[in-house]
Amino acid sequence: MDASRGNTVIMSCRIIRSRGYNPSTLRLKFGIEDGENYYKINTMQVRIYLDGQLKDPWTVVRGKLHTAALDIKNVNSVAIEVEYSEQAYTDHYFYIVDASMLFGTIEENKIYVSSPNNVPKEIIIENNVEESPSRTTQDVIEDTQNVIEEIDDLRQKVEEIWKVF
């Protein structure tokens, strides 16, 4: 992230839509690294803006992964503002470990996707990741990367199914 203002960093992006590409949900997973070198940063304030309107403010705690699922059906831009709550003598490490645009809605462990002819398909996502207080952010990052690969494989299978329609 760039555009730093003291203890605040801002990132923004525009959502480009085209025929056949009209995402409805933005899923973000983010957190602060919990390694021993980052003892000074305990919390950060994260504010998410959709078309300039504050959507979700978060207090992000070191070592905990946070998830936001945002409705972006009629949204053209997204901005994320991260404010560090303490002065630190080291680099600040705020990670976005997943930023996915989805074509459907999310409900617990299910994703509903729409095919080109608007027939909803239910895809059940199995969560096999153990929740444990001893897990580090790096463990979560690795697990998230594995899940992203599985989702990409699933996305390819869904695209193959859509070709039938």
Rounded CA-CA distance 162/112 in Å is 14
Q: What is the number of other CB atoms lying within 10 angstroms of the CB of residue 84?
A: 19
For residue 155, what are the CA distances in angstroms to 64, 78, 124, 147? 28, 24, 13, 12
Determine the structural domain holding residue 65 and report its residue range. Answer: 2-164
What per-residue confidence (pLDDT) applies to 120? 46
* Total domains, the chain: 1
What would the pLDDT profile of 94-145 be if each residue is shown by its tens digit? 777 778 777 754 444 445 454 444 444 444 444 444 444 555 666 666 777 7
Task: Give percent above pLDDT 70 in the chain.
Answer: 59
Both tokens assigned to 65: 């992964």
- pTM beyond 0.75: no
CATH number at residue 31: 2.60.120
* Mean local confidence (pLDDT), 46-58: 89
Nearest to 40 by CA among 1, 3, 93, 82: 93
Rounded CA-CA distance 100/24 in Å is 11
